Amino acid sequence: MLKKNKLIIANWKMYLGYQESIDAARALVAHEFENVRVVLCPSFTALAAVEGVTRTSRIGLGAQDAFFEDSGAYTGEISPAQLREIGVSYVIVGHSERRQYQGETDEVIRKKLRNVLEEGMIPIVCVGETFEQRQEKQKDSVLIRQMHRAFEGIELGSAEQVIIAYEPVWVIGSGQAVDPQEAEHTNAVLKQVIVDLYPSKILQNFSFIYGGSVSARSVKSFCSLDNIDGVLVGGASIRRDDFISLIQNA
């Protein structure tokens, strides 16, 4: 099987404004990154503009969230169908900040995942443990439970692509990443869940990445490992020069 290009996904969260997002996208398009697949996830307000900047490049476009219905009386929500219409190909599902601040449950995440897949888009499914769960030696059981609940009743064929992002909740924004070997082991656990749930040939449609205080200095130590197909980058992705260095170092 051909070796996959490493995935570098930038989650700009609510950091960059409209013009800042355009400027950042232009700076990235100006570089010819080799052997990596870069995906930008700007705020909803900048998605269409960033799509215009990246359209003729190899940079992908992702949304930070999507609702689980296609249309209807859902004030403030946006559907995968609406996102796909403006050129979005990827959608982050179940990020820990949405679990924390918006109270997203495993059931909601599963419904969102299903809708994203039905629209032919690529979900970036986030799973991760809290510090308390880690201290109580519950990490693996928590992650396995999150995976089973997210994919319960989800049928996958040969065409669907899925990205699983392991993001330990306790390191996000802390500047402290987990040891790369621990992330390697964790992604092996997540892979085994998929092997248990689906025919073995489906595994090749999955990518397993790590997210949590990744920097230009540390990215290679993650991306050089067999079970880590890339990284999900938050704060470091909004600092333009740092992010370019991170991509080049991957």
Q: Give yes or no: 95 in active site.
A: yes
Choosing from 95, 97, 104, 160, the catalytic residue is 95
Active-site residue, selected from the candidate residues 97, 119, 160, 167: 167
129 catalytic per annotation: no
Which residues lie below 8 Å from residue 237, measured CB to CB, with a gap of 6+? Answer: 10, 11, 12, 243, 246
- State in Å, rounded, how far the first CA of the chain is from the last one: 21
User: How much of the chain is helix, strand and coil, in % rounded to 5?
Assistant: 45, 15, 40
Q: What is the residue type of 146?
A: Q
Contact 191, 144 (CB under 8 A): no
The tally of CA atoms less than 13 A away on the side-chain side of residue 249 is 16
Point out the residues that are catalytic. 95, 167
